[in-house]
Amino acid sequence: MQPLDADAIRASFVNCSRGEAKSVTLPTDVPWPTRDFLGWRDPKAPGRAYLVVPWGPSVVGLSLRAAPPATSRLRSNMCGFCSTTHSLSDVTLFTGRRAGKSGREGNTLGTYVCANLACSAYVRGELKSNVPQPVETLSLEERVARMEDKVRRFVERILETR
């Protein structure tokens, strides 16, 4: 994605207060060319997470809440964005307030995603899950396209445009 400066990132958030957008701890040393979107946990507030997604000529930023570690009989789960299979501790339920009328009424939307939100790195094999992956024949470009599609659909639902 195109590099963004701090002001552009802070101005992109659509589903949190201006005060929260101002207080976000921004990521550093981002390898922009190999990132399809930005995703990070706030190191000063680990329950907070952020996504900044290219959106037409602009970007859309989402403020998310990370659920505490799940207690489930499942031993693994798949990231809803990059389709990487993880052990349960490496995948987290992230929830965002919807941006329109239903968000103001308390409506949220959640999805299970890589706990570190480093989907772009998993897709490129820069990071590896510690559990075996299903065999896939997709090319890198196809995997990136599938991920971008899933991220786009999540953003659209937060924006309440679908």
Binding site for Zn ion (CB under 5 A): 79, 81-82, 114, 119
Q: What is the number of the residue whose Cβ is closest to Zn ion?
A: 79
Amino acid at 136: E
Nearer to Zn ion, 48 or 86 (CB): 86
Nearer to Zn ion, 13 or 37 (CB): 37
Are residues 49 and 27 in contact, defined by beta-carbon separation less than 8 angstroms?
no
Burial of 115-148, coded b for 16+ CB within 10 Å and e otherwise, reads bbbbbbbbbbeeeebeeeeeeeeeeeeebbebbb
Are residues 55 and 14 in contact, defined by beta-carbon separation less than 8 angstroms?
no
* DSSP 3-state of 75: coil
Nearer to Zn ion, 97 or 143 (CB): 143
Please report how close the Cβ of residue 99 comes to Zn ion at its closest, in angstroms. 22
Please report how close the Cβ of residue 70 comes to Zn ion at its closest, in angstroms. 16
* DSSP 3-state of 123: helix
Nearer to Zn ion, 11 or 153 (CB): 153
Please report how close the Cβ of residue 14 comes to Zn ion at its closest, in angstroms. 21
Pairing of the two strands 76-78 and 108-114: unpaired
Please report how close the Cβ of residue 21 comes to Zn ion at its closest, in angstroms. 24
Please report how close the Cβ of residue 5 comes to Zn ion at its closest, in angstroms. 26
Nearer to Zn ion, 119 or 144 (CB): 119
